[in-house]
Structure 1
Amino acid sequence: MTEVGLPDGRTLEYVTVGPADGVPLVLHHGTPSAAVVFEPWAEAAAKHGFRLVMYSRPGYAGSSPRPGRTVADAAGDVAAVLDALGAGRFVTVGWSGGGPHALACARLLPDRCGAAALIAGVGPYGVTGLDFLSGMGTENLEEFGAALEGEAALTSYLNEQGPAFATAQAAALGAALGDLVSGIDRAQLTGEFADYLAESFRAALRSGIGGWRDDDLAFVTGWGFGLGDGRVPVAVWQGGEDRMVPYAHGRWLAEHVAGAEAHLSPEEGHLSLVVGGFEGIVADLARLAG
């Protein structure tokens, strides 16, 4: 793990895996999560000539908090990490809560970002044509309900939920995720992926619930950028059996992100899409980036 210092005094932790001369593939982790590498993803990136780069968003793990951050702020943080690596052009992937942050990079760093892929990415709140909460599992209904009440309510809710994730073990993930996992997703909670997911939860909560809280608040307020600039190609990947980020989110993004390519799979879930489909998504990203 490496740290980069920022002009405002914060630090960000990041990790890189793969060919040193490879184009960076910046992978934005989900919510809650951190810069923990899942080896099959690094291998898929390297297979297509990319160097996997992950950083922990502010407030997660070893990255300094940034209360009040917006989704748009991710672009500046990514630029700082890339500058520290001496890298110019990059591509980006965002899974789940990472989706909006990958889109921010595509929209706000168009001279550097070659392409973006959103995998089960969260859509914006309060927009016409998207019922944000519809189809979510019980836990997400409670979590985002608290987020919509404000910071104090959300902090209280996450303080209650946090310990189960801060001490997560692979064998107990099904119970911890509860109503958020459909049948196809529950089947993914085994072996190497379950170990990775539990480790990422533990890392995310190492410094408390600040990063998780600030992610949620950023999702339900203005993202800080528009969706209409189509200079950077974007692919939207979404499964119909997703109870964390419902199918309607992906469909809405595919219809409203300028020039987006839609890959909507009714039979896939939130986890199955990224476990079984990541290499194909990276191959498609390479195609989009030219």
Structure 2
Amino acid sequence: MDPSAASSLVDVQEELSLIEKYLTPRVFEVPMSRGRTVRAYEVGPPDVPVVVGIHGTPSTGLGQVVNYIASGAIFCRLVAFDRQGYGGSTPEPGRKVRDIAPVVEAILDDLSVDTAAVYGHSGGGMLALATAALLPTRISRAVCSAGNGPNYGSGGFDYADGPSPLMREEMLEARKGPQASREFYRRVPCKLRDPEVEKQLYSENDRRIARLLSPLRDKITQQLALPESPYSEEDAYVDDVQSWVKPWGFELASITVPTRIFHGLDDLQAARRHSEWLRTQIPNASLELFPHFGHNLSQLMPHMLAWLVQDEVRS
């Protein structure tokens, strides 16, 4: 083999090895007040802008790690975490939407990161907005992806009026109180892998992407050797939906950082009008609508992450 060709091959192998290293996540615990802990994940190169990803309901931070690795977006570093009561994070019964801010702040402090961008998907969308409002010196940009608007005040829409009968039922039950939400969880969210339930909540494109990512998720789960959660997903779900139907604890108008709202036009869970209304309530907010995309916006991960870190990349 030509010496120059052999040298080039070695260089390529070294680069691939480095990329593989960057796409290998690590898990760590962050101490919180009152003896609580948060399980967090980190993946990506060390010397690039940081993005915090907030998962939806019910879920864990692992899904965000899978989306990042699938996209190979090594121009930024992703930090995700299991929200209170999910996965390996201690429950916080009775929490409000605003209570996500101390969690994100503690994670940034633990990593010695001064500022980061943030995104939230689905039930995490409003939480990303909360961090942007309540941590203005720590958050540089924010994305709300497939999120919902608030359940109180005047918004020009009914929070329970969405594209899916199941989602309307979820909100109507939540308004009745925790026990009604608990009973709904047992009928629907805990059966998300049931094909009949799945078809009512996820578009054909959503289901196709989930199938494609399933082997990668299994591989990463095996690599991280995560223990089974000691906490009740049902309890965490009830805490989530009960926080949605109460005041969020911050004003959307107080968000000053650049904010973008992503919405798939084939979303069967979050109503388009919620995204359109949120855009009108947040200064510096813009809205992107995506034909043929549903509730799962993992295909947009590189585009979303690039927008979130563009200021840092330019500087």
Q: TM exceeds 0.5?
A: yes
Letter in 2 for 1:155: R
Q: Any unmatched runs of 5+ in structure 1?
A: none
Cα distance in 2 for partners of 1:187, 1:146 equals 30
Identity, % of aligned positions: 32
Shift in Å, 1:205: 9.3
**Rg larger in structure:** 2
Letter in 1 for 2:133: R
Contact kept? 2:159, 2:171, Cα under 8 Å: no
Contact kept? 2:73, 2:305, Cα under 8 Å: no
Contact kept? 2:40, 2:81, Cα under 8 Å: yes
After TM superposition, the score normalised by the length of structure 1 is: 0.87
Moved segments of 4+, more than 6 Å: 202-205
The one-character-per-residue Cα deviations of 1:65-106 (angstroms, maximum 9, x if unpaired) are: 111111111011110111111111111111111101111111
Letter in 2 for 1:277: L
Cα distance in 2 for partners of 1:214, 1:251 equals 26
Per the alignment, residue 285 of structure 1 pairs with 308
Per the alignment, residue 156 of structure 1 pairs with 183
Tell me: CA distance 1:159–1:7, structure 2 relative to 1, closer, same or farther (3 Å): same
Letter in 2 for 1:192: L
After TM superposition, the structure 1 stretch with the greater mean CA deviation from structure 2, 144-153 or 132-141, is 132-141
Cα distance in 2 for partners of 1:278, 1:107 equals 23
Of 248, 259, 264 in structure 2, the residue corresponding to residue 239 of structure 1 is 264
When the two chains are superposed, the root-mean-square deviation of aligned CA atoms in Å is: 2.6
After TM superposition, the structure 1 stretch with the greater mean CA deviation from structure 2, 15-24 or 251-260, is 15-24
Tell me: CA distance 1:203–1:246, structure 2 relative to 1, closer, same or farther (3 Å): farther
After TM superposition, the score normalised by the length of structure 2 is: 0.80
Contact kept? 1:25, 1:45, Cα under 8 Å: no
Is 1:178 aligned with 2:199?
Answer: yes
Cα distance in 1 for partners of 2:141, 2:189 equals 34
Structure ranking higher in helix proportion = 2
Contact kept? 2:139, 2:257, Cα under 8 Å: yes
Q: Any unmatched runs of 5+ in structure 2?
A: 1-26, 222-226
Alignment: residue pair count:
279
Contact kept? 2:88, 2:230, Cα under 8 Å: no
Per the alignment, residue 124 of structure 2 pairs with 98
Contact kept? 1:95, 1:119, Cα under 8 Å: yes
Is 1:133 aligned with 2:160?
Answer: yes
Cα distance in 1 for partners of 2:295, 2:125 equals 12
Shift in Å, 1:276: 2.0
The one-character-per-residue Cα deviations of 1:152-207 (angstroms, maximum 9, x if unpaired) are: 21122223445435xx5xxx5x434231123443443322158649x99x978963
Letter in 1 for 2:304: I
Per the alignment, residue 226 of structure 1 pairs with 251
Letter in 1 for 2:171: F
Letter in 1 for 2:169: E
Cα distance in 2 for partners of 1:57, 1:132 equals 23
Tell me: CA distance 1:248–1:159, structure 2 relative to 1, closer, same or farther (3 Å): same
